[in-house]
Amino acid sequence: MGRVESKRPVVLIVEDEILLRMDAVDMVGAAGFEVIEAGNADEAIEILETRPDITVVFTDIQIPGSMDGLKLARAIRGRWPPIKIIATSGRLNIGDIDLPEGGRFLPKPYGPRELAGVLRELTGG
């Protein structure tokens, strides 16, 4: 028997601040999505290489490591074009134009309703 595929869309959260990541995990889980976590872009890429079931990547823009969230978004668009991108930041205010096509920007602080709304919009849920 192979791994049982989740019927819920899978969201990868990329956030280096543990408390913010835990909040995001709770919100995304409560919205009915399966959640995977990464602390930086390198971890996120490693996970994406092993999990073909990821539907959405929700990333902070200011993350440590070799890529920030915008570079990560572009890398994902290049290698995994179907994956939807949501970027967030409490300091930068970027337009959807700064993200790969179809990407969305959600400013911090965001609430569960806003996050769930964007996720459902992107996943057709």
pLDDT, tens digit, 9 for 90 and up, residues 19-77: 999 999 999 999 999 999 999 999 999 999 999 999 999 999 999 999 999 999 999 99
Give percent of the chain with pLDDT exceeding 70.
94
Band (pLDDT 50/70/90 cuts) for residue 3 is low
Q: Identify the pLDDT of residue 60.
A: 97
The token duo for 109 is: 């602080």
| Closest-CA residue to 13 (of 39, 32, 31, 33) | 39
Structure-model confidence comparison of residues 102 and 114, the more confident one: 114
Residue 84: predicted pLDDT:
97
- Residue of 36 and 1 predicted with greater confidence: 36
The residues, any chain, with a CB within 8 Å of residue 86's CB and separated by 6 or more, are: 56, 57, 58, 59, 103, 104, 105, 106, 118, 119, 122
Kindly report the pTM of this predicted structure.
Answer: 0.92
Residues 14, 60 contacting (CB under 8 angstroms):
yes
Name the band, by pLDDT with cuts 50, 70 and 90, for residue 4. low
Q: What is the third-level CATH fold of 12-123?
A: Rossmann fold (3.40.50)
Using alpha carbons, select from 41, 47, 123, 107 the residue that is nearest to residue 74.
41
Task: Spell out the domain ranges in the chain.
Answer: 12-123
Give me the pLDDT at residue 88, please: 96
Q: Which pLDDT belongs to residue 14?
A: 98
pLDDT score, position 93: 75
